[in-house]
Amino acid sequence: MASSEVAQAFAALEAHKRQISGSRIPDLFAADPQRFARFSIAFDDLLFDFSKHRVTDETRGLLLDLARAAKVEARRAALFNGDPVNGTEHRAALHMALRNLGGAPMRAAGVDVMPQVIAERRKMEAFAERVRNGEIRAANGERFTDIVNFGIGGSDLGPAMAARALSPFIADHLSLHFVANVDGADFADTMRRVPVETTLFIICSKTFTTLETMTNAATARKYVAEKLGEAAIGYHFCAVSTQLEKIAAFGIASDRVFGFWDWVGGRYSVWSAIALSLAIGIGRDNFEDFLRGGEDIDRHFMEAPLDRNIPVLMALLGVWYRNVFGFATHAVIPYDQRMARFSAYLQQLDMESNGKSVDLSGAAVTRATAPVIWGEPGTNGQHAFFQLLHQGTEIVPIDFLVAAEPIAADAKHHEILFANCLAQSQALMQGRSLAEVVSLLESQKLSPDAIKALAPHKVFQGDRPSSTFLYRQLTPRTLGRLIALYEHKVFVQGVIWDINSFDQWGVELGKELALKLGPIVSDSGLSTEGLDSSTAGLVEA
Ligand code: F6P
């Protein structure tokens, strides 16, 4: 149940929105030459620019009042203290322990988890290094050349996204592949590109029951046994899960099994052994740099005052647009091709966490929760959906992400990429008025009739908000920082909406029905009676 302080803070924001409705973002820049300096935060070599928003000093103050009313600081302390913040599953959410390289005690249910976290990380990293340097070899004695990860959701998206983001850091002699979908095409198409005799398969599943992953793993086991013989299984498989006894039943030796804990949510598991494929690919030092990036942001989130706290401000801006303006979606557009899967990764992080309609007490929420998160890399998006962003009737707040310097890519290309990123946020904010369009068309010597017909189509309303994350280079540490920023943003929004960001009951019903429908789909002899006519009709067809 939202507190009356939160309701008051929202009421103040709504009144404030009406007051500032006459001023547009370009006006805010015109009135304040220091706006960029005052509405941006540098964190080491990462810069968060939130100046291109419908936000004044007063707005920021009112948003911070909302954070205080929602008791963000107390709830943040509860998160880091290992309190059971995931109430419906009676669990802590302590993924920060996985990147706590300093090793200071962190407790879940009162027990310091760091000794087990450190021991498991050492075991995983040692295995990864030995695969990488060729000490651990395939059944035929050759070095592994390919790693295939079976997993879905958090057991796929994190390592798959990061492997792509950090591709220049992956050893040249290794290729990483990710099979998630139960659609057999995913497995079949991957295996067409992969030499089975030098491929290591990693089965990643927190629960070790997920239908997709178990189906793919069973198919792969059969495939390897057929191609290389049953004795090869022990050489070619390893597994990551919280359910170690279930792995034993699959026939994988314990020294190839890596664990994590129920206080790590699937969508927060990229910091755990779930990223074994990534650790093999990029090596121990880079993997630890990735963790260090997450740890950097944990410290910032804990220590920075709310008004200089990047994830807190990201969250508040999101709430401002989602709840006060009613904008239903939020785009994340990396001008960074290697971040092509970042928006997909954030979809799970944000929408599985905050796509909720009841609050912590089980009562219906009174305000909208998570926006739809979406996005594709720039500049590609410019030639696809940017038309709507500039001139459509929906306003979409955007996060632009861009590196100052490329890694292993042409500098001239990067200049063009970078200029495009800035041009888009500038165009979205500034727009182009009817008067400007008319004068432009007049300068092109169009007839008055032609100008009258064409001008409305060339008007850009502008005043469309965006943040820009500028980082020096997309290194493992930068990627770790970016992910952790979004994790804590999602957490803060969950606090403001008073929802449980750490459960995901909404995925269960579909799973349950798929299990019931499975036998009916497989066996045309089984009756479809009792099914709705659409489902029955589709099965029969
Ligand atoms: O169905 C949703 C979900 O439970 C996600 O939260 C999770 O990341 C994914 O499935 C995979 O689960 P597991 O790692 O247990 O296979």
Residue ranges in the chain modelled with pLDDT below 50: none
Question: Which residue owns the Cα nearest ligand 1 atom 6?
Answer: 266
Backbone angles phi, psi at 467, to 5 degrees: -105, 155
Compute the radius of gyration of the chain from its Cα atoms.
25
Distance separating alpha carbons of residues 352 and 166, to the nearest angstrom: 25
397 lines ligand 1 (CB under 6 A): no
Cα(146)–Cα(11) distance, integer angstroms: 56
Q: E strand or H helix at 301, and its extent?
A: helix 276-303
The position carrying tokens 């989130």 is: 301
14 Cα–ligand 1 center, Å: 38
Residue 269 C-alpha to ligand 1 middle, in angstroms?
Answer: 10
pLDDT, position 1: 55
Res 2: pLDDT: 64
Cα angle: 496, vertex 498, 503; to 5 degrees: 120
CA 336-337-343 angle, to 5 degrees, is 80
| Atom 4 of ligand 1, nearest CA residue | 266
512 counts as catalytic: no
Is the shortest distance between the CB of 52 and ligand 1 below 6 Å?
A: no
Q: In sequence order, what are the residues at sequence separation of 6 or more whose Cβ sits closer than 8 angstroms to the Cβ of residue 113? A: 82, 94, 97, 106, 107, 261, 263
pLDDT tens digits along 462-511: 999 999 999 999 999 999 999 999 999 999 999 999 999 999 999 999 99
Tell me the backbone φ, ψ of residue 403, rounded to 5 degrees.
-90, 145
Active site residue 53: no
Contacts of 519 (CB under 8 A, 6+ apart): 526
Say what the pLDDT of residue 215 is.
97
Interatomic CA distance for residues 229 and 216, integer angstroms: 18
Q: Across the chain, how many H-helices and E-strands are there?
A: 22, 13
- For 436-524, strand residue ranges (E) read 466-471
For residue 379, whether the previous peptide bond is cis, meaning omega lies within 30 degrees of 0, is yes
- Residue 512 CB coordination number (10 Å): 9
**Ligand 1 centroid to 429 CA: how many Å?**
39
Q: Is the CB of 59 under 6 A from ligand 1?
A: no
**CA dist 103 to 100, 420, 469, 485, Å?**
5, 42, 29, 21
**Which stretches of 410-527 are assigned E, i.e. beta strand?**
466-471
Euclidean distance between CA atoms 40 and 51, whole angstroms:
6
**Ligand 1: distance of its center to the CA of 181 in Å?**
12
Residue 218 tokens read as 């069973």
Most ligand 1 atoms within 8 A of CB, residue of 150, 179, 181, 206 to mutate: 206
Counting from 1 in the atom list of ligand 1, the atom nearest the Cα of 210 is 16
Q: How far is the CA of 31 from the centre of ligand 1 (A)?
A: 49
